[in-house]
């Protein structure tokens, strides 16, 4: 298989991207975001439980526009668009630093798709619910924070006709916004994947207190949660393979979110350097300011090119997808770190304050850098691939 030269980004994909950009610009601009999540620093960081606000009316609009159905195969009631469209959408969500369960849902969709592709009929039914607008989140990380499927702390036990799940999944993204979870749980036969509704008896959500104001995160505790056969999206022993199949898409989606956010950081910092005057010049006149902003652009462009290539490879060149996706995540994490650093520093004193919006993106990027492995982790895996050649 070979990749198309244009990354598979044709007229339909462009329509999705441009539509998303327009909607989010109009309804989820920076003023709206600030009012939604940063109106009060005490509420954000001092209240007993951090709020997990998002615009539910906008979410319903997103669902009506088919954003949750985008990556769901047609056979399961979705639109069945290629991963490049999903990445382009995630990039717009990142550009808006949008608080919503969409990124978690796109990731959950990638996992359910991988399960369905291996012939799991139950997965198709859950995909249909996503297409209809139910948010999903992956609950697969153990207390050690590892990204390998084996790191799950949830145990599965066969009981009668069903399965009982016990233990906790950690660092679950947008848990308070999700309608169901895809839980990785291990038994003697290996790791399996189970779809569990958020309101299942025995499922408890313990919100984490986090830095990022644009999402929520939680420990999802399962106190002997009983599920039936319809919940099994990957039987014991197949869960790791399904997660591995989905990993390139997952990495591309997170990288795309970071690319969008990094582009916002670049443009916002460049705008400030055009208007802020010191020593009788706009500060962008000074090369100590100008050159780092150019370096932000170079880092963002590298990450964007790799992200599109990774997303394209998921569908067009699966053998290359993981390598490109790890490269994309590494480049995007580095770009995010650098853009966050320079965006605050080059805004000077105001950049260090609550009233300047750059902190919202700084925090979202820092959160994203670690998700599914930071840059150094990805480079370690890439080195293994290089060495095996």
- To the nearest whole angstrom, how small is the minimum distance from the Cβ of residue 76 to another protein? 28
- To the nearest whole angstrom, how small is the minimum distance from the Cβ of residue 54 to another protein? 28
Task: Considering the complex, state which of residue 34 and residue 323 has its C-beta at the smaller distance from another protein.
Answer: 323
| Footprint (CB under 8 A) of another protein, residues 50-69 | none
Ordered DSSP codes for 196-229? EETTSTTEEEEE---S-SS--EEEEEEEEEEE-G
Question: Which of 338, 310, 350 minimizes the C-alpha distance to 326?
Answer: 310
- To the nearest whole angstrom, how small is the minimum distance from the Cβ of residue 248 to another protein? 14
- To the nearest whole angstrom, how small is the minimum distance from the Cβ of residue 89 to another protein? 14
Count of helix runs (H) and strand runs (E) in the chain: 13, 10
Tell me the sheet residues that pair with 190. Answer: 187
| Footprint (CB under 8 A) of another protein, residues 360-379 | 376, 379
How many Å apart are CA 312 and CA 324, to the nearest integer?
A: 10
Q: How is residue 164 annotated by DSSP?
A: E
Task: Considering the complex, state which of residue 4 and residue 51 has its C-beta at the smaller distance from another protein.
Answer: 4
Per rule CB under 8 A, is residue 41 in the interface with another protein? Answer: no
Candidate segments 9-17, 29-37, 39-47, 149-157, binder of another protein by CB under 8 A: 9-17
Contact 44, 86 (CB under 8 A): no
Task: Considering the complex, state which of residue 18 and residue 40 has its C-beta at the smaller distance from another protein.
Answer: 18
179 exposed, middle or buried (CB, 10 Å; 0-12, 13-18, 19+)?
middle
Count of residues for the chain? 389
Task: Considering the complex, state which of residue 226 and residue 297 has its C-beta at the smaller distance from another protein.
Answer: 297
In 3-state terms, the chain is what percent helix, strand and coil (to 5)? 55, 15, 25
Contact 198, 178 (CB under 8 A): yes
Per rule CB under 8 A, is residue 2 in the interface with another protein? Answer: yes
Per rule CB under 8 A, is residue 123 in the interface with another protein? Answer: no
- To the nearest whole angstrom, how small is the minimum distance from the Cβ of residue 342 to another protein? 13
- To the nearest whole angstrom, how small is the minimum distance from the Cβ of residue 141 to another protein? 23
- To the nearest whole angstrom, how small is the minimum distance from the Cβ of residue 257 to another protein? 17
Using the rule CB under 8 A, which residue among 71, 112, 273, 337 binds another protein?
273
- To the nearest whole angstrom, how small is the minimum distance from the Cβ of residue 101 to another protein? 27
How many Å apart are CA 255 and CA 31, to the nearest integer?
A: 25
231 exposed, middle or buried (CB, 10 Å; 0-12, 13-18, 19+)?
buried
Residues 309-338, mask of contacts with another protein (x by CB under 8 A): x-------x------x--x--xx-------
Contact 219, 232 (CB under 8 A): no
Per rule CB under 8 A, is residue 3 in the interface with another protein? Answer: yes
Per rule CB under 8 A, is residue 21 in the interface with another protein? Answer: no
- To the nearest whole angstrom, how small is the minimum distance from the Cβ of residue 327 to another protein? 5
Candidate segments 47-55, 97-105, 173-181, 302-310, binder of another protein by CB under 8 A: 302-310
How many Å apart are CA 98 and CA 226, to the nearest integer?
A: 34
Residues 342-361, mask of contacts with another protein (x by CB under 8 A): --------------------
| Footprint (CB under 8 A) of another protein, residues 276-295 | 281-282, 284-287, 289-291, 293-295
309-338 per-residue burial string, b: 16 or more CB within 10 A, e: under 16:
bbbbbbbbbeebbbbbbbbbbbbbbbbbbb
How many Å apart are CA 267 and CA 256, to the nearest integer?
A: 17
Question: Which of 170, 221, 218, 160 minimizes the C-alpha distance to 196?
Answer: 221
Using the rule CB under 8 A, which residue among 82, 95, 177, 304 binds another protein?
304
Can you give the binding site for another protein, defined by CB under 8 A?
Answer: 2-7, 9, 13-14, 17, 270, 273-274, 281-282, 284-287, 289-291, 293-295, 297-298, 301-306, 308-309, 317, 324, 327, 330-331, 376, 379-380, 382-383, 386-387, 389
């Amino acid at each position: 298989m070979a990749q198309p030269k244009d990354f598979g980004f044709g007229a339909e994909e462009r329509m999705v991207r441009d539509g998303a950009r327009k909607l989010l610009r109009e309804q989820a601009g920076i003023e709206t975001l600030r009012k939604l999540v940063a109106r009060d620093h005490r509420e954000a960081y001092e209240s007993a439980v951090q709020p997990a606000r998002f615009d539910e009316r906008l979410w319903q609009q997103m669902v009506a526009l088919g954003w949750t159905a985008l990556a769901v195969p047609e056979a399961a009631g979705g639109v069945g668009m290629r991963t490049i469209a999903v990445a382009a959408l995630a990039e717009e969500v990142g550009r808006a630093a949008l608080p919503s369960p969409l990124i978690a849902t796109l990731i959950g969709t990638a996992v359910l798709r991988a399960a369905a592709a291996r012939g799991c009929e139950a997965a198709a039914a859950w995909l249909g619910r996503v297409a209809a607008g139910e948010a999903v989140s992956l609950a697969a990380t153990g207390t050690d924070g590892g990204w390998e499927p084996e790191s799950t702390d949830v145990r599965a036990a066969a009981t009668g006709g069903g399965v009982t799940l016990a233990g906790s999944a950690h660092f679950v993204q947008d848990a308070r916004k999700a309608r169901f979870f895809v839980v990785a749980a291990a038994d003697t036969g290996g790791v399996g994947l189970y779809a569990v509704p958020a309101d299942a008896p025995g499922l408890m959500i313990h919100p984490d207190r986090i830095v990022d104001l644009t999402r929520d995160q939680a420990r999802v505790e399962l106190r002997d949660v009983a599920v039936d056969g319809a919940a099994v999206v990957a039987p014991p022993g197949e869960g790791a393979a399904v997660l591995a199949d989905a990993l390139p898409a997952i990495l591309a989606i997170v990288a795309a979110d970071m690319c969008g956010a990094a582009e916002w950081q670049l443009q916002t910092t460049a705008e400030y350097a055009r208007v802020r005057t010191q020593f009788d010049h706009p500060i962008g006149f000074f090369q100590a300011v100008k050159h780092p902003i150019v370096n932000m652009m170079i880092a963002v462009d590298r990450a964007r090119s790799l992200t599109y290539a990774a997303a394209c490879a998921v569908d067009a060149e699966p053998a290359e997808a993981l390598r490109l996706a790890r490269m994309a995540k590494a480049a995007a994490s580095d770009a995010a770190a650098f853009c966050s650093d320079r965006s605050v520093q080059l805004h000077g004193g105001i950049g260090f304050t609550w009233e300047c919006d750059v902190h919202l993106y700084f925090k979202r990027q820092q959160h994203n850098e670690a998700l599914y492995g930071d840059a150094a982790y990805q480079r370690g895996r890439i080195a293994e691939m290089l060495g095996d050649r």
